[in-house]
Homo-oligomer: A and B are copies of this chain.
Amino acid sequence: MSPNKLVPQDFTPLTIGIVGFGNFGQFLSKAFAAQGHRVVGQSRGDYYEVAAAIGCEYVQSADKLMDCEPHIVVFCTSIMSLDTVLSRFPLKRLANKLVADVLSVKLYPHDLLLKCLPSSTDIVCTHPMFGPESGEHSWKGLPFVYDVVRIDPLRKQICDAFIDIWRSEGCTMVQMECAQHDKIAASTQFITHTTGRMLAQLNLQTTPINTKGYESLLAVVDTTCKDSFDLYYGLFKYNPNARQELDKLENALGDIRNMLERTERNEAQTRNLSRSKGVEKPCISEEILRTLRLRVSPRI
């Protein structure tokens, strides 16, 4: 068990199924197992050794996973593949179990799980807002967003125990409805990713004259581009607010250009007015600017 963790006194090990055993699934499994839970990973590849190395079991079929009688099944697929994975899953075997997802969008899995799962399945939608990089050494203070969508009061304890896993790792616990999450995430996380990817297109380099603000931007580019384009596309397509945020960002950049060009036009008008009135006007600056622009403009 990891050191410095707050383990509840009435700790009972859970059996946790992890569907989708990629980077993120493994990252979570390792922490769950370190807390003393039985963790069984499942996907189509051969991850037996990887699982064993982090204290987990591994199976290749969903039926074998369900044979382990997990208390909780956590879907750790990508946003894009959740529907396919669910469509191939023996969903009836999830009756009277707790199902969780950990996707970066929340309304979509909320609706999809409600639509696909048996009505007796408990559902908790979560978004751990960190990953193998930012949470490598500790999850302390990192936000864990969760929404208990549907729960049978008789099985409330299991859901509480699952949520306690994150609390005892020191996450900042944020209980938030899925709709609210997607609204906020579009104007924060999606905007950050978009800004990072936009700046990445410029191929920004470190220079001898970086300002602090520029260094912050370089850091955002670096973090953003470590995530896959697929994740970014997922944030765009599956967060219903994202498209509107992208529009806003384009409009904002357009507004800035308009403000600059409007100021320029006003300045020119004032200058012409002064000239026509014969008011004193030192205007070598315009001449110098014209020359400068010619010097730097690309040769045609």
Contact = CB atoms under 8 A, between A and B. Distances in A.
A233 interface: yes
- State the majority secondary structure of interface residues on A: helix
B214 A83 contact: no
A191 B204 contact: yes
Interface stretch (A105-113, A149-157, A161-169): A105-113
Among A82, A116, A195, A289: residue with most chain B CB under 10 A: A195
A217 B195 contact: yes
Interface stretch (A39-47, A56-64, A258-266): A258-266
Given A209-B176, A211-B188, A252 B108 contact: no
Chain A interface size, as a band, is 35 or more
A283 B82 CA distance: 11
Contacts of A207: 184, 188
A53 interface: no
A24 interface: no
A292 interface: yes
Among A236, A260, A295: residue with most chain B CB under 10 A: A260
A249 interface: yes
A240 interface: yes
A32 to B, nearest CB: 22
Interface string A136-157: 0000000101000000000000
A192 B176 contact: no
27 contacts: A82-B285, A108-B285, A108-B289, A111-B288, A112-B284, A115-B284, A129-B209, A143-B210, A176-B208, A181-B209, A182-B296, A187-B202, A187-B204, A188-B204, A189-B211, A191-B199, A191-B202, A192-B217, A197-B256, A198-B256, A212-B223, A213-B223, A213-B224, A233-B263, A240-B296, A243-B293, A249-B253
